[in-house]
A = this chain, B = another copy of it.
Amino acid sequence: MTRYRTLSPPDLRVYLGAHDALGARLGGPHEGWAVREVSDGNLNHVFIVEGPAGAVCCKQSLPHVRVDPDWKMPLTRTDFEARYMRRVAPHVGHLMPALLHFDPDLHLIVMESLHHHHVLRGMLGEATALAGFSARIGEYVAQTAFFTSWRGRPFEQSMADCAAFAGNTTLTRITVDLVLTDPYRAACARNHWMTPELDATVAELQTDAALHASVSHWQERFLGAPQALLHGDLHTGSIMLHGDDVRVIDGEFALMGPIGFDAGLYVGNLLLHAAARRDHATWMADEIETFWRSFTHEYRALWETNPTSGDVGALLDAAGRHQAQAQELAMVMRDLAGFAGMEMIRRTIGYAQVSDYALCSDRTGEKEARLRALTLGRMLITRGRRIETINALLETIEEPGGF
Contact = CB atoms under 8 A, between A and B. Distances in A.
Contacts of A37: none
A172 B184 contact: no
27 contacts: A150-B224, A155-B169, A155-B172, A155-B173, A155-B176, A159-B167, A159-B169, A160-B166, A162-B162, A166-B166, A209-B316, A209-B320, A210-B320, A212-B317, A212-B320, A213-B320, A215-B315, A216-B313, A216-B316, A216-B320, A216-B324, A219-B311, A219-B314, A220-B313, A223-B312, A224-B227, A226-B226
A207 to B, nearest CB: 10
Interface of A: 150, 155-156, 158-160, 162-163, 166-167, 169, 172-173, 176, 180-181, 184-185, 209-210, 212-213, 215-216, 219-220, 223-227, 311-317, 319-320, 323-324
Given A155-B172, A185-B315, A219-B313, 10 more contacts: A155-B173, A158-B223, A159-B167, A159-B172, A176-B311, A181-B311, A181-B315, A209-B317, A210-B320, A225-B225
Interface SS, A side: helix
Contacts of A213: 316, 320, 323-324
Nearest to A256: B162
A150 to B, nearest CB: 5
A323 B216 CA distance: 11
A315 B160 CA distance: 32
A211 to B, nearest CB: 9
A173 B213 CA distance: 36
A161 to B, nearest CB: 9
A391 B167 CA distance: 42
B184 A169 contact: no
Nearest to A212: B315
B311 A150 contact: no
Given A163-B167, A209-B317, A319-B209, A224 B223 contact: no
A314 to B, nearest CB: 6
A166 B169 contact: no
A312 B219 contact: yes
Contact of A223 (B155, B167, B220): B155
A310 to B, nearest CB: 9
A162 B164 CA distance: 10
B223 A225 contact: no
A226 B163 CA distance: 13
Contacts of A176: 155, 311
